[in-house]
Structure 1
Amino acid sequence: MKFFIDTANLDQIKEAYDMGVLDGVTTNPSLMAKEGIKGVDNQRKHYVEICNIVQGDVSAEVIATEYEGMIKEGEELAALNPHIVVKVPCIADGIKAIKYFTSKGIRTNCTLVFSVGQALLAAKAGATYVSPFVGRLDDICEDGIALVGKIVEMYRYYGYTTQVLAASIRHTAHIMQCIEVGADVATCPLSAIKGLLNHPLTDSGLKKFLEDYKRVNG
């Protein structure tokens, strides 16, 4: 499973890259605003800065909600860097835009997916990625991980090549569950990825090793 980091923070992106675990980045204007990056020009410059670090795909989100606006924004975003994947909401005009982008060789990430039916429409339109939102479904007492698993199963059954990018990942347990149901990608905070390192036997084993070394070597 590939790891994307969901942030606009360059330090975190560099840290994940230096660890050797970074396959891509998902970000959006909301995440950029948290980093104090405002204005379309500054945000697009920031997308390029991210692409200069990452060796994989970087999802950049359109703001428009109508077809023509999505096409204009998406083409401008895709022209910024070859790593850019245009992120489009799963609405009627978004599905139509995905079909257009696919015909032009522009890769897409269909976002805000909350059902198998939505995921099916995105795949039929040619989306490169589809992003079911795990945490937001859990927030309303629905099973986000189960949805990821159902989409994976549907794509395999019908032979769609769209990759399932599990989004709205809240913690390390979500990552492990995404692995179990066969998600292609998980996009998550760096803290959730680093949480995979934690195990009490690793800590106790290292402590004992160091104690033994000190006892033998003084």
Structure 2
Amino acid sequence: MRIYHASVALDDVRWAFAAGLIDGIVATPAVIAAQLPNADPRELVQELSTAVPMPVIASVRAVNRDELYKGARELTRLGEQVIVAIPLVEDALPAIKRLSAEGVKVAATLVHNAAQAALAAKAGASLVTIAVDAAAHVGDDPSLAISESRLIFDRFGFECDVIAAGPASARAFTDALTAGADGAVVSTDVLKALLQHPLTDRGFDRFLGEISRRPRPRRPK
């Protein structure tokens, strides 16, 4: 299981890395705009790449095949472990194929069903991200898209990970993993929320009460 941290705040990234919770960072335009709107995206990706030894998923700011390819190659020069995020539109497929042939890892985004995931994997994507939060908002079942994608990848031998993007709760996170997702993209708030449970809080309070009442050992005279 791989967890990709949707954060560009270095303090949050270092906390999650030190805790052993994350396997990569997501530095897409939406994440950058929400947390560091005045930052230069390229400089930020480079800084993140040197701050922690793990992959950084960064987006190409283009939509046609030539610009997608050119932008992707520019991003890979910012760090050895950069994974290029490319939206799965028609023009993206030739760019994904070319980049994959050159050893560049591509994360296909805006994938919402298994048919799209299969085409992305066939073109050479290393990851497909299925937007769990977006699917739930329109009444779709993201678990079905995840499980069907995983089944297709396994059947045809595609070396491509299925990543659940944006599960907003422990239940959604668990559903994605049990459906066959290889990992998930989560924010700092969700990552910390996954640690929480009311019974854990209650048990911890009881534990604190017990150790406070425990008699202290007497020191030998």
TM over 0.5: yes
How far apart in 1 are the matches of 2:203 and 2:34?
Answer: 39
Which of 143, 146, 154 is equivalent to 1:156?
154
- Structure 2 alignment gaps of length 5 or more: 217-221
Amino acid at match of 2:169: H
TM-score (norm 1): 0.93
Cα shift readout 1:4-47 (whole Å, capped 9, x = no counterpart): 111222222122112210100112123212233447xx211100
State which of 151, 173, 176 in structure 2 corresponds to 1:175. 173
In structure 1, how many angstroms separate the alpha carbons of the residues matched to 2:27 and 2:147?
Answer: 24
Matched, 1:206 2:212: no
Correspondent of 2:61 among 51, 60, 63: 63
Aligned pairs, number: 216
**Counterpart residue number, 2:127:** 129
Q: Which residue pairs with 2:33 in the alignment? A: 33
Paired AA for residue 36 in structure 2: G
**Structure 1 residues 73-94: Cα deviation after superposition (integer angstroms, max 9, x where no partner):** 0000011101101111101111
1:24 matched to which residue of 2?
A: 24
The 8 Å contact of residues 6 and 187 in structure 1, kept in 2 or not, is answered as yes
Please give the per-residue CA displacement for 1:84-128, whole angstroms capped at 9, x wherever unaligned.
011111011111111000111111000000111111111101101
State the match for 1:4 in structure 2: 4
- Equivalent positions of 1:83-122 (< 5 A) are 83-122=81-120
Deviation digits for residues 127-164 of structure 1 (CA, Å, limit 9, x no counterpart)? 01011111111111111122111111111122111011
Counterparts of 1:141-152 in structure 2, within 5 Å, are 141-152=139-150
> Judging changes above 3 Å, is the alpha-carbon distance between structure 1 residues 128 and 72 closer, same or farther for their aligned structure 2 residues?
same
Task: Provide the secondary structure at the position in 1 that maps to 2:104.
Answer: coil
Whole-Å separation in 1 of the counterparts to 2:38 and 2:196: 36
Q: TM-score, normalised by structure 2?
A: 0.91
1:78 aligns with one of 65, 76, 79: 76
- d(CA) in 1 for partners of 2:35 and 2:188? 16
Please give the per-residue CA displacement for 1:184-205, whole angstroms capped at 9, x wherever unaligned: 1100112222222222332233
Match of 1:188 in 2: 186
Q: Identity over aligned residues, as a percent?
A: 29
Supply the AA of the counterpart residue of 1:7: S
Q: 1:36 to 1:210 in 2, by over 3 A?
A: closer
Q: Which amino acid in 2 is paired with 1:15?
A: W
Decide which structure has greater helix share.
Answer: 1
The Cα shift of 1:172 comes to 2.2
Aligned counterparts of 1:123 and 1:199: Cα–Cα separation in 2 = 37
The 2-side partners of 1:90 and 1:126 are apart by: 12
How far does the alpha carbon of each residue in 1:56-75 deviate from its partner, in whole angstroms, 9 at most, with x for none? 22111011100110111000
When the two chains are superposed, the root-mean-square deviation of aligned CA atoms in Å is 1.6
User: Is 1:13 matched up with 2:13?
Assistant: yes
CA contact (8 A) 1:88 1:108 kept: yes
Shift of 1:3: 0.7
Return the alpha-carbon distance in structure 2 between the equivalents of residues 216 and 134 of structure 1.
47
5+ residue gaps, structure 1, are none
